[in-house]
Amino acid sequence: MTTTSYRAGLSRAAAATAAALAFLSAPSAQAADNDPGLPLGDADLVETRTSHALADGVTLTRIVRGTEPAPADQINTTTRGPWVVNVLTIDPRKAGGHLEAVYGPDLARTENTTDLVGAAGALAGVNASFFTFTANPQYPGDPVGLGLYGGKLLSEPTSDPAEVNFVVDSRSDRVLMGKLSWTGSVRNRETGASLPLEYLNHPPVVPAGCTTLPDQTQCTQPGDVVRFTPEFAASTPSGAGVEVVLDRRGCVVRTAATRGTQLTAGQTSLQATGREVATLRQVAGGGCLQTRSDLVDEKGERVPVRKSLSGVNGRYRLTAGGEIVVPDGSGSFFARNPRTIAGTTQDGTIVLATIDGRMTTSVGTTMDETAAVAQALGMHDAVNLDGGGSTTMSVRGELVNQPSGTTQRPVGDVLVLRD
């Protein structure tokens, strides 16, 4: 579908949005006879595709495979579909915009994907990282893994072997996919005493029994040491332990016997729980601290965290070098669900895709089916991002797909294509 004229008084941006959303409800064009279609379900299924150019080098394609709604009790087993897939392709050689990861007012809160895309003034976007969600209602947006935004590493990758990361450089539009790892530490510049960091912007755990001690330095059970930045939330997590606030030079501003404070611009803090309370007090010592933070790739090579870098976390690599590499698995995660995919073709084109699921009008995909779709869409390398009720695609802040819940699920962060 192409648009050659615009209604009087309607901006080009608004007209592009209206045209893009209108095509979603328009009759779809039949797939070419020599195109086998997506490797989903029975071979005789009818598949239709409709494409629309959102901007130079940016195309939105809607694929519908299967024509009849699935019986509600056969969503997880039917070979007749249907499946609804929305695909956003971005050719960096032609597109004027750049892909970035963004979050809402602060890292710990969640926002609807449409709102985040709209607030960023972006052309389009999809949900991205796995996040805390209901596991911590106070900080639901906290990424469960890598969170890298505009060159700021605000959440470290986990050691979970399932985590795989998607990192994009907005300056070059190059993408890095794979398993990243992180180490961090603080060191007193005067005494040389040091302490390893365990997390970035993640509420520390207080060991059972330590909260009842009159002095936290008496706790002998291992706790956590966490670095917090003002981007985390309106205030740092409160509770038993110790918190040391640092100025922009890394010098101690204050030390509190309990955790929880508001950080101003340029300040950071270190929180410790358990037996690490005594160690942090000793290392800080009222002096100035040097913080070290190292992000490395699968080859052990350091990834320089520069301003143009964004990165989000996913669960499982789908394709690598054009081959399907998703592992075998069982359980609800590997069963049919809505899915969000990010990947690149062999020539460097970036592809973002959503697969609607858990509905009679689109049943979703297993992990194996998701990898097969990624490969069929030409993704030489691809990552499975957060899915389920989070799966959402937006064009200029308007929904493109149909999320599986009754309402759009708020998420921690999104990948957006800025104009």
Q: What is the DSSP string of 54-86?
A: EETTEEEEEEEE-SSPPPGGGTTT-SS--EEEE
The mean pLDDT value of the chain amounts to 92
Tracing tokens 């495979």 back to the chain, one arrives at 65
pLDDT at 10: 31
pLDDT at 5: 25
CA pair distance 154, 147, nearest whole angstrom: 6
Predicted TM-score (pTM) of this structure: 0.92
In the chain, what are the helix, strand and coil shares in percent, each to the nearest 5? 15, 35, 50
- CB burial of 349-371 (b: ≥16 within 10 Å; e: otherwise) equals bbbbbbbbbbbebbbbbbbbbbb
**Digit-coded pLDDT (tens) for 373-413:** 999 999 999 999 999 999 999 999 999 999 998 899 999 99
**Digit-coded pLDDT (tens) for 203-250:** 999 998 787 666 777 788 899 999 999 999 999 999 999 999 999 999
pLDDT at 27: 45
Q: Coil, strand, or helix at residue 291?
A: strand
* Element holding 277 (H helix, E strand): helix 276-284
pLDDT at 296: 97
Write out the two tokens for 218.
């008496």
Transcribe 314-354 into DSSP letters. Answer: EESEEEETTEE-PPP--STTTSSB-EEEEEE-TTS-EEEEE
C-alpha distances out from residue 363 to 69, 72, 81, 150, 414, Å: 9, 9, 6, 36, 24
Q: What percent of the chain has pLDDT over 70?
A: 90
Domain boundaries, the chain: 1-179+305-419, 183-294
CA pair distance 227, 186, nearest whole angstrom: 9
CA pair distance 155, 229, nearest whole angstrom: 10
Tracing tokens 């895709």 back to the chain, one arrives at 353
Q: Which CATH architecture has domain 183-294?
A: Sandwich (2.60)
Averaged over successive runs of 10 residues, the pLDDT of the chain (419 residues) comes to 28 49 51 73 98 97 98 98 98 96 97 97 98 95 98 97 97 95 97 97 91 73 96 96 97 95 97 95 94 96 96 98 96 98 98 98 98 98 98 96 94 95
Q: What angle do CA 150, 341, 68 make, to 5 degrees?
A: 145
Q: DSSP label at 39?
A: S
Q: Count of residues for the chain?
A: 419
